[in-house]
Copies of this chain bind each other. A is one copy, B any other.
Amino acid sequence: MIVLGIDIGGMSIKGGVIRDTGEVLDHFSVPMDKYADPKDSIGAMNRFIVEWLDTHSYDEEISGIGLGVPGILNKETGVVASSPNLPKWLDFNIKEFVENYTHLPVKIVNDASAAVLGEFHFGSGKNYKNFIMITLGTGVGGGIIINNELYDGKDGMGAQLGHALIEINGRQCTCGRKGCLEAYASATALIKETKKAMESHPDSLLHEVCNELGKVSARAPFIAERRGDAVGHQIIEDYVMYLSEGLLDICNIFRPDAIAISGGVANEGKPLIDRIIKYMSDRNYGYVGAPITEIKLPELGYDSGKIGAASLFFF
């Protein structure tokens, strides 16, 4: 079977032609305007898809389109109730809208759930029964596999792992609450902390690094730390603490076999993972006999979302 797997993000729509072995036969990308009416942005995606299908051929027919969508959505009806980072997406039936234009069957799932499905079926989660993936990006997303099945709560609206507390009445979160993990462990939070530190430390190497990068990015404090900058080091120490405490919560709540950490920040790779594991093992649930949860990097990189969205048709 061959399916289009599509991962809708705030910056771009990333798609692929995916075989049911997990192989990606072709990649494509469509621009995304997160402030646009969804009929415009997804309308453009529809036209792109139909043109793609007209101009490409494979050894099998395309069986359908799987969509990973950020936001609160109902998998059955296909309606996206709302999306924190896509302000004009309100009660938008994306399933119907894409089916009517492309004449292909469409299945939808939350974007973080799409990512965990991809890794679970074809990547770092393959050997586990209880597997969780945390995505550190603009926000903090979470996907949950329990007993070999996706768990995404009532009507597919659950698993908002980024919106559990780290600190009561703490930093303001996009969701309206204060103190959620997202406000501490997202790339956005890391950028904010970096900007704050740059203001109060004009002598920090962060300025030089951000000049080189052309912007204040979440990579900056990691690079500055490697060059010996104390300010960058402190930002990352704090970041590791917040993220690891959030992961300890997930361990205590779910006691999963493994947690994979994805998203831009996870590109820091094994050195970051090792620091997280060290922090966590010093503070693992204190009782004798508590099992250890493995902390891993994803294996499919940026493709886990599109592969996972396609996998809605495979299993």
Q: Do A130 and B157 touch across chains, with their CB atoms under 8 A apart?
A: no
- Choose one: B175, B257, B287; the contact of A81 (CB below 8 Å): B287
Q: Do B253 and A177 touch across chains, with their CB atoms under 8 A apart?
A: no
- Choose one: B90, B164, B241, B256; the contact of A252 (CB below 8 Å): B164
Count the A residues whose beta carbon is within 8 Å of the partner chain — how many?
55
- Min C-beta distance of A263 to chain B, whole Å: 19
Give per-residue flags for A63-87: 1 if the beta carbon is below 8 A from chain B beta carbons, else 0. Answer: 0000000011000000001111000
Decide if A286 is an interface residue (CB 8 Å cutoff). Answer: yes
Decide if A28 is an interface residue (CB 8 Å cutoff). Answer: no
Q: Do A154 and B177 touch across chains, with their CB atoms under 8 A apart?
A: no
- Min C-beta distance of A133 to chain B, whole Å: 14
- Min C-beta distance of A234 to chain B, whole Å: 16
- Min C-beta distance of A13 to chain B, whole Å: 21
Decide if A255 is an interface residue (CB 8 Å cutoff). Answer: yes
Query: How many identical subunits does the complex contain?
Result: 2
Question: A163: which B residues are within 8 A, CB to CB?
Answer: 249, 252, 285
Within 8 A of B (CB), among A242-269: 242, 245-246, 248-249, 252-257
**Given A159-B255, A290-B72, also A154-B130 (CB < 8 A):** yes
Ordered by A's residue number, 24 sampled pairs between the chains whose C-beta atoms are within 8 Å are: A71-B287, A72-B289, A81-B290, A83-B287, A90-B288, A142-B253, A147-B149, A147-B151, A153-B254, A154-B257, A155-B255, A157-B290, A158-B253, A158-B254, A159-B253, A163-B249, A163-B252, A164-B253, A165-B166, A167-B167, A168-B170, A168-B242, A176-B285, A177-B285
- Min C-beta distance of A245 to chain B, whole Å: 6
